Amino acid sequence: MAQAAGKQPQYTPEQIAQIKKKLASMKPEEIQEMIKKQCIFCKILAGEILAYYVYQDKKVVAFLDIQPGNPGHLLVVPKKHYSVLPQMPDEEVGHLFTVAKQLSGIVFDAVGAEGVNIVQNNGQVAGQMVPHVHVHVIPRMQKDEVVIEWKPGKMSDSEAKKIQTAIAEKAKSINIKEPKPKIVEKIVEKPIPQPSPEKMGKPAKKPAKKRTPKLKRHP
Ligand SMILES: [Zn+2]
């Protein structure tokens, strides 16, 4: 979505104090309800604003970006209001990105994309225009006018080490739930095939590996 024109409203210190006082007296559910009333995506989800849906399930919807970078530019949006990605539970993020990934494959055939960008912005400074988590799926074509780039910076060894330490230390707190191991109900032991006398002396053949079917590649 393109940035709305115009300035942000300016509040006087008295008005800010009043707003803070009001917020402090509200229950979390009431604050959430107030945020939802202001949110354009929540309004779309409530059916108050028209959107061109392409997908929906229990947790996620996807619709056309009304100001597309290219035809087929999609927004994948959780039904529950979260302002930024770090607020979302891991399982829900997993589902959101799985849907984005599936749609990123579909646009190749559906709109003739030759490439695709998956973009997820958090915070106004990062280009997030709607404060409700969303993932952009942007089909790319040769010589289109989509620009996603940054100027490659430089980094000294000491700087790299300092940043590495700062992030790696905090990253120790990452706790990803491992999927539960599958319980093997019954182990059937097959007899090991014995080499025939004429093959004696040669190493026994390994049992043939099960082949997984090759995935179709996009042209
Ligand atoms: Zn919302």
3-state secondary structure 172-189: CCCCCCCCCCCCCCCCCC
Q: Quick one: pLDDT band at residue 2, thresholds 50, 70, 90? A: very low
Q: Encode pLDDT of 142-176 as tens digits.
A: 999 999 999 999 999 999 999 999 999 999 999 88
Q: From ligand 1's centre to the CA of 130, what distance in Å?
A: 8
Whether pTM exceeds 0.75:
no
Q: Quick one: pLDDT band at residue 195, thresholds 50, 70, 90? A: low
Contact residues for 95 (Cβ-Cβ < 8 A; gap 6+)? 59, 60
Least Cα distance to 133 among 69, 73, 88, 67 occurs for: 88
Question: CB–CB of 114/138 below 8 Å?
Answer: no
Q: What is the DSSP string of 82-150?
A: -SSGGGS-HHHHHHHHHHHHHHHHHHHHHH--SEEEEE---SGGGT--SSS--EEEEEE-TT-------
3-state secondary structure 159-171: HHHHHHHHHHHHH
Q: From ligand 1's centre to the CA of 219, what distance in Å?
A: 37
Active site residues per annotation = 134
Q: From ligand 1's centre to the CA of 36, what distance in Å?
A: 5
Top-confidence residue, 6 or 8: 8
For ion ligand 1, residues whose CB falls within 5 Å? 39, 41-42, 81, 132
Give the pLDDT of residue 24. Answer: 84
Q: Encode pLDDT of 30-53 as tens digits.
A: 777 788 788 999 999 999 999 999
The residue count of the chain comes to 219
Superfamily classification of domain 13-140:
HIT-like (3.30.428.10)
2-19 average pLDDT score: 68
Question: CB–CB of 73/65 below 8 Å?
Answer: yes
Euclidean distance between CA atoms 142 and 138, whole angstroms: 13
Q: Encode pLDDT of 91-146 as tens digits.
A: 999 999 999 999 999 999 999 999 999 999 999 999 999 999 999 999 999 999 99
**Radius of gyration of the chain from its Cα atoms, rounded to whole angstroms:** 26
Q: From ligand 1's centre to the CA of 99, what distance in Å?
A: 19
Q: From ligand 1's centre to the CA of 1, what distance in Å?
A: 14
